[in-house]
Amino acid sequence: MSDEYDLTVIGAGPVGLFAAFYAGMRNLRTLVLEALPKPGGQITALYPEKYIYDVGGFPAILGRDLVSELYKQSSQFGADFRFNERVEKLEVIEPEQLRLVTSECEYFSKTAIVAAGIGAFQPNRLNAPGMAEFEGRGVSYVVREREKFLGRKLLVIGGGDTAVDWSLELRNWASEVTLIHRLDYFEAHQRSVLALYDSQVNVLTQHELVGVSGKDVVEQAVIRDNVTGNERPLEVDDVLVCIGFRADLGPINHWGIKLDGRKIIVDRETKTSIPGVFAVGDIAYPEDSASMNLIAYGFGQATLAVGFANHFIHPRERVSHGHSSQRKGMKYSPTPDAKQAEE
């Protein structure tokens, strides 16, 4: 079919964008379908101002900047991007032909890579007095602009990487940062936890929020010591809740693809139960190998999936095509900065 793609990437988060880039490296005609209005997935929706530390080549990079660079990288070989289009249906029409139906159109593709992250997501909300009432008036679940915390007293709630990272980052903006967590340990990167205890953040483990109050905006939070049962008030201007998200695979549940809970089961080659369909990133569950929910890990999966997708279309071609500098027909024109770096 003249309008058939070689590969369709479902999801334009970091891993999906890298998969689209690598598909270009293999000269595959590529389509990218994204339910959100812009690239970046969860990072754009929830962490645009958060620093990311596990991407090669960057000691630290803001989420929005990483997405911007990945989008430029993925667009250089002519991939077609369709935003605001959620894939409602995926089905095999015949061998090497998939039909993908979105909320706007239908597409045909020889292969597909599902890079949908954790699926549709919403932040978990705290059900404590005042939290719903003051949401948007001091209570928040996402940081859109760090500047809004400048000179303010901030209470952060949570015990994972998001809570720890935001506490460390926003200490440079807020006049005072207090982090409370209901457990006595943090589920975050070890170096981040060490930096947290070495910082000026007021860290209170085995504490939880009782409620918030104020006149028109948040003015006070009451916290409880879970060991002693004692409660005490804190003067706060903002409460940032970082306790994870509710994920929903949505239409993926009805594609006939083999699942394990909210993840797609894949083998060592990132293949799913549907021939020609692969899955990478947080949504993928390798049955016979280890997995890590890290962008760096997802990038590696993406290169593997593209290789096997290309091999599925062209069985005589190798899964691995060697180094990126060996891409057939690829022209590299270094920028002045790049030339200087090479010298």
Q: How far is residue 122's CA from residue 141's CA, in Å, rounded to a whole number?
A: 10
- Tens of pLDDT, residue by residue over 33-61, are 998 888 988 888 777 888 888 888 999 89
Same domain, yes or no: 76 and 39: yes
Looking at the structure of the chain, the number of domains it has is 2
Q: What is the pLDDT of residue 274?
A: 96
User: DSSP state, 193?
Assistant: H
Q: Decide if 41 is inside a domain.
A: yes
Q: Where are the alpha helices (DSSP H) in the chain?
A: 14-25, 42-46, 63-75, 161-170, 190-197, 295-313, 336-342
Note down the domain range covering 109. 4-121+246-329
Q: What is the pLDDT of residue 244?
A: 83
**CA atoms in the 13 A half-sphere facing the CB of 212:** 29
Boundary of a domain, candidates 243, 265, 298: 243
Q: What is the pLDDT of residue 336?
A: 40
Same domain, yes or no: 218 and 84: no
- Tens of pLDDT, residue by residue over 287-312, are 887 778 889 999 999 999 999 999 99
Same domain, yes or no: 203 and 250: no
Q: What is the pLDDT of residue 343?
A: 39
Same domain, yes or no: 91 and 228: no
Best CA proximity match to 31, nearest among 94, 74, 92: 74
Let me know: does 131 contact 212? Beta carbons within 8 Å.
yes
Same domain, yes or no: 185 and 231: yes
Q: Decide if 186 is inside a domain.
A: yes
- Domain of 134: which CATH number? 3.50.50.60
SS3 197: helix
Let me know: does 144 contact 41? Beta carbons within 8 Å.
no
Same domain, yes or no: 65 and 158: no
Q: Decide if 90 is inside a domain.
A: yes
Average pLDDT in the chain? 89
Query: Which amino acid is located at 320 in the chain?
Result: S
pTM for this predicted structure: 0.70
Boundary of a domain, candidates 243, 274, 295: 243
One digit per residue, the tens of pLDDT, for the chain of length 343 reads: 447 999 999 999 999 999 999 999 999 999 999 988 889 888 887 778 888 888 889 998 998 999 999 999 999 999 999 999 999 999 999 988 999 999 889 999 999 999 988 766 678 899 999 999 999 999 999 888 889 999 999 999 999 988 999 999 999 999 999 999 999 999 998 989 999 999 999 999 999 999 999 999 999 999 999 999 999 999 999 999 999 877 678 899 999 999 998 899 999 999 999 999 999 998 999 988 777 888 999 999 999 999 999 999 998 888 876 655 555 444 433 434 434 333 3
Q: Decide if 147 is inside a domain.
A: yes
Same domain, yes or no: 232 and 158: yes
Same domain, yes or no: 111 and 148: no
Same domain, yes or no: 277 and 224: no
Let me know: does 87 contact 101? Beta carbons within 8 Å.
yes
Q: Decide if 336 is inside a domain.
A: no
Same domain, yes or no: 263 and 233: no
C-alpha to C-alpha distances, 320 to 75, 166, 340, nearest whole angstrom: 22, 39, 31
Boundary of a domain, candidates 192, 212, 243: 243
10 Å CB burial of residue 220 (0-12, 13-18, 19+) is middle
Q: Decide if 80 is inside a domain.
A: yes
Q: Decide if 220 is inside a domain.
A: yes
Same domain, yes or no: 173 and 197: yes
Torsion of CA 111, 114, 120, 125, to 10 degrees: 180
Same domain, yes or no: 99 and 168: no
